[in-house]
Amino acid sequence: MKRTVYIYKAFERFWHWMQALLIFFLAATGFEIHGSFSFFGYENAVSYHSVAAYAFIVLIVFAVFWHFTTGEWKQYIPTMKNIVPQVNYYLIGIFRNAPHPTKKTVLSKLNPLQKLVYFGLKILVVPVMVLSGLLYMFYRYPHKDSIEGIRIETLEPIAILHTAGAYALIAFIIVHMYLVTTGTTVTSNLKAMLTGYEEIDVSEDESEQSEAAGNVYEKI
Provide DSSP, 36-94. Answer: S--SS-HHHHHHHHHHHHHHHHHHHHHHHHHHHHHTGGGGG----TTHHHHHHHHHTGG
CA dist 89 and 102 (Å) reads: 10
CB 69 within 8 A of CB 77: no
Mean pLDDT of 84-109: 88
Share of the chain above pLDDT 70, in %: 84
CA dist 199 and 6 (Å) reads: 9
Summarised one tens digit per residue, pLDDT across range 52-63 is: 999 999 999 999
Give the model's pLDDT for residue 150: 58
What is the model's pTM?
Answer: 0.82
Give the model's pLDDT for residue 104: 85
Give the model's pLDDT for residue 203: 61
- pLDDT of 3 above 60: yes
CATH number for the region 2-219 comes to 1.20.950.20
- pLDDT of 197 above 50: yes
Summarised one tens digit per residue, pLDDT across range 140-167 is: 544 455 545 556 666 788 888 899 999 9
